[in-house]
Amino acid sequence: MKNILLLAVLTIFATSAAHAYVDDAHSRAMEAATPQAKQGFLVRQEYWAGTLVTKQPSVVKHQLFKGNTYWFWLGSDEDSAQVTVHIYDPKGNLADAEAWQKGNKAAVKVVPKVTGTYYISFSIDQSKAKKNRWALAYGYK
Amino acid sequence: MKLNPLLFFFAAAVAAPLPPPAQQLDLDKLPSQSKVIDQVVVPVPSEVFAALDKLGKPRWAGLIHREASKAKPVGEAPQIALMLGSIIAEGFIAVEAEDTDEVKDIGRAILSFSNAIGVRKAVVRRANSIIEFADKKKWLQVRGELDGALNDVREAMVELNSESLAHLVSVGGWLRGTEVVAEVVGTDYSRDGAELLHQPGLLEYFQRTLAGMKPRLRDHALTSKVRKGLADIRPLAGGDDARVSQKSAKEIAVVAGNLVKAISSKP
């Protein structure tokens, strides 16, 4: 009976921990989004998330519409992480209108000059952890 | 006061600026130089509507399909999933029109369709919030809740091992959103407005996703129609060139419109 209880507790803990990884990274991204959310940007519920090794540049492709302003917010659950995010237009040209990074949070703003597929490039530049959970969210106005 | 030089060194290291970003991303070398994340977030209809609004506010009230909120679930699961996506998109149109009663009816329809497909529990709170915020005319919040409903429905379907149905919800929403944008642009043409239909990456993604479904779903009569329709829309929505002509916009409106009709018709 004791073993069954222990197994149940461990299972719940393991499940919670697995969710916590993703949620913590997303929470950091949402912290980064707070100023824009207050300015009326609609923050999307769906977001990108995963695990990255340090200094591995990664890219997500995303459809943007000319006329809107977008912010992308990147967060990592690893406190020691230094993350960066930039955006490139459909021809591969840097399209950052504004960008900042602070520890395990970073953000980039873009005002698309054309409608089409954009490339959001991001990386964990420094970290004590070998693998880092990350989450990338965006909002528009 | 004596300062530790090590502290200065540490502070300088922490504050060291990161190297500036590359001015150009070599798209031809993407998979080898950067890991490409194979996850697609489909924009919600209100993103493209927001861009369209900035070009001159369309008469949204006249664009609502009022029968959508009164519709009852018909057909098999793929059809209900497509209808659900289309109804959520209708909600975004009703929000643009700031039509409280219609938005509330759509909130109820979302519940009814979610129930028919076994994900009611996941969306009850969202549907109630849609109704509540619509009553208070808090349109930004309604948009957020419609986005949340879409997300929660899809997540619940994935948890039920129905990832394909989750994709169909997205496709249904995209088709209804595209129909409206194409209709507005086809009637009152502007180059910038028509450019909003240029979505090659999304079209490629939808086509790839539908083609990769299990034969039972991929070859379902309605899914086959949607696949054919997407193949028809793709060349009209522009290739490398973002320009979309008025004629193409009108044709996209017809193709997407016919698919939306097929989605909401009895099999």
- Whole-prediction pTM value? 0.88
- Would you state the pLDDT for residue B18? 66
- Cβ-defined contact of B198 to A42 (cutoff 8 Å): no
- Asked which of A19-23, A32-36, B5-9, B67-71 is least confident by mean pLDDT, the reply is B5-9
Residue A15 predicted with pLDDT over 60 = no
Q: Which residues, including other chains, have CB under 8 Å from residue B36's CB and lie 6 or more apart?
A: A58, A59, A60, A61, B30
- Would you state the pLDDT for residue B4? 54
Q: Which chain A residues are within 8 Å of B198, Cβ to Cβ?
A: 115-116
| Domains of chain B, residue spans | 5-264
Quick check: A85 and A108 in contact, CB under 8 A? Answer: yes
Give the residue among B203, B147, B20 at the shortest CA–CA distance from A101.
Answer: B20
Residue A1 predicted with pLDDT over 50 = no
Q: So what's the ipTM on this one?
A: 0.90
Which stretches in chain B have pLDDT values below 70? 1-18, 31
Q: Which chain B residues are within 8 Å of A141, Cβ to Cβ?
A: 50
| Domains of chain A, residue spans | 23-140
Q: Residue A66: which of B27, B148, B195 has the nearest Cβ?
A: B195
- Would you state the pLDDT for residue B239? 75
Give the residue among A11, A66, A68 at the shortest CA–CA distance from A44.
Answer: A68
DSSP codes joined into one string, B101-157: HHHHHHHHHHHHHHHHTT-HHHHHHHHHHHHHHHHTT-HHHHHHHHHHHHHHHHHHH
Q: What is the CATH number of domain A23-140?
A: 2.60.120.380
Chain A residues with CB under 8 Å of a chain B CB are 40, 42-48, 50, 52, 56-63, 65-68, 82, 84, 86, 88, 90-94, 96, 99, 101, 114-117, 119, 121, 125, 138, 140-141
Give the residue among B106, B224, B233 at the shortest CA–CA distance from B182.
Answer: B233
Give the residue on B whose Cα is nearest the Cα of A39.
B140
